[in-house]
Structure 1
Amino acid sequence: MTTPPAKRSVLRNPAFLRLWLATTASSVATWALPFILGLAVLERTLTASALGIVLAARMAGFLVAVPVGGVLADRYSRRGIVFWSGVLSIVSTPLIAYGGLPLMACAAVVLGAGQGACRPAFQALTADVVDASQRQQANAAMTFAVRVSTLIAPGVTALLASVVTTSGLLLGTCVLWLIVALCPPRGARHVGRERDKLHREFLDGLREARRHPWFLAGLAALTMTAALGQSSIAIALPLVSRDRYGTEAVLAAGMTAYSIGALLGALVVARWRPRNQGWVALAGLSLFGFAPLSMLFPVHPAVIVAAFVAVGIGIELFNVPWFTATQREVAPGKLARVSSLDFLVSYGLAPVGLAAIAPSIDAFGLTAVLVVCAAMCFLAPAAAALVPSSRHLSVTTPRSA
């Protein structure tokens, strides 16, 4: 009996490598804006209130552009959508770097639109250029690159800030957006359908999403986790680090541990194909509950660090199979719109959690809020797992990813 040939690594696919480079550049550039503007606040060249206005304006542009970008990416060339998203970001970034506050806010809306419009197009392009058997490895490679970049980027950026102004650093992100605009490969053209008004085409994507109960259940669990779990980290961890341990080191260690855990999770899920992949993914998502749980009691800081490593592993055990299943199960001509629904809901409700956590802590106390956040992070994925199709992230018989 002859031995079957080994599968070719997705990293030897030139089209994927171009997409991988563009996706990584987009993620790093998106991360860079709040960090660099935060440095400007530290240098007192930007006020904290101005920072809040600019970031809120960017989020508004992002949320408006995500569904529009999803429709356009299913209607036109997906590479073209990414190109114009990169152009919008390149044009708007200098205005944020050197404009007054009103101009900065307007430019931030445009920048957010560029960042949002390319997200669903990237998801659809992955399905276009990568064979189905290699998509989980491809998605893991993308998230691994992003996690490595965001792990080392703060230190590199802070070092550069000693010799370059924050405005210069912002202009430097234009290079990343140039990569986004020029690098993506040509995807498949999905033609043969009549074009309709934008909102009707988006609703058509929503109807496609409703055909996949596992998608709606998983999206609800992800949204709850993002709104409460991530918000508890953003608000409660700095408070716990300052008030309980009297040092910022716990905050830094916790966030670093989260990134390291995500790297480990990406490495594991690149190769691991559990039989009940959906249940494993939702179990990974539920690990987010250990973040608020670890902050409930006066434990040794190592316990918090270990909990955040587990959270990082868990989020990638969910993310990579989730993206892979969406690319596999959703009709190709509607994939960008369904992906845009994912980003719109999970990203859109996250600020609601951030806005609610701080006043809730003032009203009910840190302990009560952490208990609720931990409970919901455990219960939401468990509830999603009760949907029959969630077991394999498929409404049909299990298929290899």
Structure 2
Amino acid sequence: MTVMTATTHPLRLRNFRLLFVSRTMSTLSDALVPTALSLAIVHVTGSATMLAVVLGCALGTRLVLLPVAGAVADRFDTRKVALVADLTRMVTQAVVAVELLGDDPSVVVIAVAQAVAGAASAVGLSNLSPLVTKSVPASGGQRIKANSLMGVAKSVSLLAGPALAGALIFAVGFGWVFVADATAFGVSATLMLLIRLEEGADETNGSTAGPGARRSIRADLSEGFKEVRARDWYWTSLIAHAVWNFVANVLLTLGPLIAVKRLGGEGSWVAVTQAGGVGLLLGSLVSGWARPKRPVLVGNIALATYALPLTLFAVGAPVPLLVAGYGIALAALGFLNPTWDTAVQAVIPQSTLARVSSYDWLVSLAAQPLGVILAPVALSLWGERVPFAAAAVLVAVVCVGTAAVPGVRRLRLDYAALAQPAPTAEPAPQPAPRPEAEAAPEAEAETGAETVRSGGKGAGATA
């Protein structure tokens, strides 16, 4: 067994290596589905309504079941929960493959399969952060690298998934895409079987309630919500992240229309989105070595850069500037996600981490359809420029505005301390903040600013 030290790279740990490859396969499989499923349904039915129904089944169940999925992930063995989620998605995509390879595919069967897959996806989203903390257990200091690697894998999957789906459809047809998708989930599940997480590997952050606690799901959901509500830095950041997702979908809805009408056609929009994919990847890479002392504050302010491409669209900037602006904005997102995950994993008790993560995903994902729905309405009422300009002001004000929240400013990560092995006993509570702490920031560690150390449980951070 590899002993974790301050210089150990996460990929030298067997459990994390297996987890990384498993989650990469799972993420890539998820990235294949939207493109392949959309084209398959259009090919089979030729109906936009049926396409909306099928996609809605997958997205709807994932959104509705996220809180429950978080409670399930906290209640039972983390590895087994991930294994069941992967096996479920393997079966559902195999069902879709069988339907599409047959002579008369049933859209109802495909829709039901995608609804079940959406529920399993909700479990997978909620369960990822606990898996990382258990696979990199001895040190929070290396988790920023682990989270960065996860971010890189996600970025590459989002870039490669649609292109790979298109290539497979062209080469072998729709049904075989889902055969490949089911196979990838099967490989991911097999790797999860090989992971061996020791009992107590997740005993960080002062957790008091372990998996399998005998209480109702409702009580579990309530406890997770209390963890969110008790930390001003967390719930205010979720609002900022929801606003980011809202305005991002305003741009993703109106951007293609503007590109086709006055920016030279579809190729200009493709260039913008590809720049975003590259930016997302670069931001994830940068997060692996960046060590912001105030990670939530820095990450939220970085998200405000999404105002840049929105402003450029509002003023009718040329395509090269739009490409650069969108790349910068998505690089900020790539940087935020691993940085945010590391802060959350260092502060939130392990026993509620999946539930807290599920609320995070719920708020973020719920905001996305609002942007898609309201953007065309705003366009019809006020024209092209107003929706972009209003969205730019909104995201800048809300994301930068989190700096006014005391918890956002005070939450700090002590990376040197996090690199040390976790203590066996819960650390003594820190003294309460004094009013003069903000007047003397250089003395915050002495005056109650929340500094996260190895195994520390704070009182207090995805777009």
Name the TM-score, length of structure 1 as normaliser: 0.93
The residue that corresponds to 1:59 in the other structure is: 59
- Give the Å deviation of 1:108: 1.3
Given candidates 356, 377, 387, the residue that maps to 1:359 is 377
Contact 2:300 2:400 in 1 (8 A): yes
- Give the Å deviation of 1:355: 1.6
Higher radius of gyration, 1 or 2: 2
The residue that corresponds to 1:150 in the other structure is: 158
The residue that corresponds to 1:346 in the other structure is: 364
Matches of 2:241 and 2:157, distance apart in 1: 24
Q: Deviations over 1:198-226 (max 9, x none)?
A: 12211101111122211111111001110
The residue that corresponds to 1:112 in the other structure is: 118
Per the alignment, do residues 355 and 7 of structure 1 end up closer, same or farther by CA in structure 2, a change over 3 Å counting? same
Identity of aligned residues (%): 25
2:262 alignment partner AA: R
The residue that corresponds to 1:73 in the other structure is: 73
1:254 alignment partner AA: V
The residue that corresponds to 1:125 in the other structure is: 131
Matches of 2:300 and 2:107, distance apart in 1: 42
Matches of 2:268 and 2:411, distance apart in 1: 37
The residue that corresponds to 2:173 in the other structure is: 165
Q: Aligned Cα RMSD in Å?
A: 2.1
Matches of 1:316 and 1:324, distance apart in 2: 13
1:196 alignment partner AA: R
Matches of 1:252 and 1:313, distance apart in 2: 17
Question: Is the partner of 1:195 in helix, strand or coil?
Answer: coil
Matches of 1:52 and 1:316, distance apart in 2: 29
The residue that corresponds to 1:17 in the other structure is: 17
Question: Is the partner of 1:7 in helix, strand or coil?
Answer: coil
Matches of 1:192 and 1:154, distance apart in 2: 37
- Give the Å deviation of 1:275: 2.8
Given candidates 163, 188, 191, the residue that maps to 1:183 is 191
Moved more, 22-31 or 10-19: 22-31
Matched, 1:219 2:238: yes
The residue that corresponds to 1:255 in the other structure is: 273
The residue that corresponds to 1:7 in the other structure is: 7
- Give the Å deviation of 1:17: 1.2
Moved more, 105-114 or 36-45: 36-45
Contact 2:246 2:368 in 1 (8 A): yes
Given candidates 204, 208, 222, the residue that maps to 1:203 is 222
Matches of 2:302 and 2:453, distance apart in 1: 19
- Give the Å deviation of 1:301: 0.5
Moved more, 157-166 or 321-330: 157-166
The residue that corresponds to 2:458 in the other structure is: none
Contact 2:58 2:118 in 1 (8 A): yes
Question: Is the partner of 2:314 in helix, strand or coil?
Answer: coil
Per the alignment, do residues 248 and 192 of structure 1 end up closer, same or farther by CA in structure 2, a change over 3 Å counting? closer
- Give the Å deviation of 1:186: 4.1
Question: Is the partner of 1:275 in helix, strand or coil?
Answer: coil
Matches of 2:175 and 2:213, distance apart in 1: 46
Matches of 1:336 and 1:291, distance apart in 2: 33
Per the alignment, do residues 88 and 65 of structure 1 end up closer, same or farther by CA in structure 2, a change over 3 Å counting? farther
Question: Is the partner of 1:161 in helix, strand or coil?
Answer: helix
Per the alignment, do residues 160 and 56 of structure 1 end up closer, same or farther by CA in structure 2, a change over 3 Å counting? same
- Give the Å deviation of 1:54: 1.0
Moved more, 372-381 or 22-31: 22-31
- Give the Å deviation of 1:352: 2.1
- Give the Å deviation of 1:153: 3.2
Contact 1:22 1:180 in 2 (8 A): yes
Question: Is the partner of 1:206 in helix, strand or coil?
Answer: helix
- Give the Å deviation of 1:29: 1.8
More helix by share: 1
The residue that corresponds to 2:461 in the other structure is: none
Matches of 1:321 and 1:61, distance apart in 2: 28
Matched, 1:304 2:310: no
1:317-396 matches, within 5 Å, as 317-393=335-411, 396=449
Unpaired stretches in structure 2, ≥5 consecutive residues: 100-104, 201-208, 413-447, 455-463
Question: Is the partner of 2:11 in helix, strand or coil?
Answer: helix
Matches of 2:344 and 2:367, distance apart in 1: 21
- Give the Å deviation of 1:11: 1.5
Question: Is the partner of 2:451 in helix, strand or coil?
Answer: coil
Contact 1:82 1:180 in 2 (8 A): no
Unpaired stretches in structure 1, ≥5 consecutive residues: none
Matches of 2:277 and 2:222, distance apart in 1: 36
2:142 alignment partner AA: Q
Matched, 1:231 2:237: no
